[in-house]
Amino acid sequence: MQLPILDPSNPNQDFPAIETALKDPDGLLAAGGCLSSQRLINAYQLGIFPWYSPEEPILWWAPNPRLVLFPDKLRTSRSLKKTIRKEQFRITFDQAFPQVMQYCAAPRDKETSTWITEEIYQAYNHLHQQGISHSVEVWFSNELVGGLYGVAIGQVFFGESMFHKKTDASKVAFYYLTIQLSQWGYQLIDCQVQSNHLSSLGAQEIDRKEFSSLLKRHCCLQPHDKAWQTK
């Protein structure tokens, strides 16, 4: 099967139907195109996201099943509750978006490269400037020790990446994000693919068809009018 190639000069070009995504590798849908804000917004609304290594072209994915969290299904372990009760961390929203992305881009463990290329970094910072992508920051003694970022469309938050430099800092970021999203009227958090880290917090796998249906229902609805206004 030949992978569809997207036109980089046409950000409004239709994506292939997500049902046509490959089973191996799971969810690979198309290659090429661009990372313009319009193309990224179009992609997320359809349940598609970019992920590729520096030596590859832009690759677009729509895996099946999809890992999601319904905010009211958030699960908090005893140890995480204990960490939260200590109040050792300070939580902010949208106060250090570029720095969060930079930390998320740092190679993990024995890896020598990252999927968060300069192209990805610039594209999501541009979305942030438009009020579409957002970050959560976790601070300890005025040091940024954890956080995450993602894209918000309608009543759906599409998580992209998280990091921690101190034990439980990324879990704390996700916990406070979920609590805040629930208060703002968000209905769904996209966690993309299976992760033990996020499953421990209540994320669950659903069929891609169901995920697509949820996006059609919730991406066109508006959250609370005070969403992301935390200053």
- Encode pLDDT of 11-60 as tens digits: 999 999 999 999 999 999 999 999 999 999 999 999 999 999 988 999 99
Torsion over CA: 28, 198, 130, 145 (sign): negative
> What is the average pLDDT value for the chain, to the nearest integer?
94
Say which DSSP state 165 is in. Answer: S
Domains in the chain: ranges and CATH? 5-64 (3.30.70.3550), 67-218 (3.40.630.70)
pLDDT for 113 equals 57
User: What confidence tens digit (pLDDT) does each residue in 60-119 have?
Assistant: 999 999 999 999 999 999 999 999 999 999 999 999 999 999 999 987 665 555 789 999
Q: Which of 27, 30, 24 is nearest to 4 (CA)?
A: 30
Q: Tens digit of pLDDT for each residue in 162-181?
A: 999 999 999 999 999 999 99
Quote the CA–CA distance of 214 and 206 in Å, as a whole number: 11
Measured between its terminal Cα atoms, the distance across the chain in Å is 50
Q: What's the whole-number mean pLDDT along residues 196-222? A: 96
Q: Has residue 212 got a pLDDT over 80? A: yes
Non-local CB neighbours of 62 within 8 Å, separated by 6+ positions: 18, 21, 27, 29, 46, 47, 48, 49, 208
What is the rounded CA–CA span in Å between residue 157 and residue 177? 10
What is the predicted pLDDT for the residue at 161? 96
**C-alpha dihedral, 124 to 100 to 171 to 230, nearest 10°:** -80
Using the predicted structure, report yes or no on whether residue 231 has a pLDDT greater than 80. Answer: no
What φ, ψ does residue 101 adopt, rounded to 5°? Answer: -60, -40
Q: Can you give the pLDDT at residue 166? A: 95
Q: What is the pLDDT of residue 72?
A: 96
Which pLDDT score is estimated for 109? 62
Mean pLDDT, range 182-210, rounded to an integer: 95
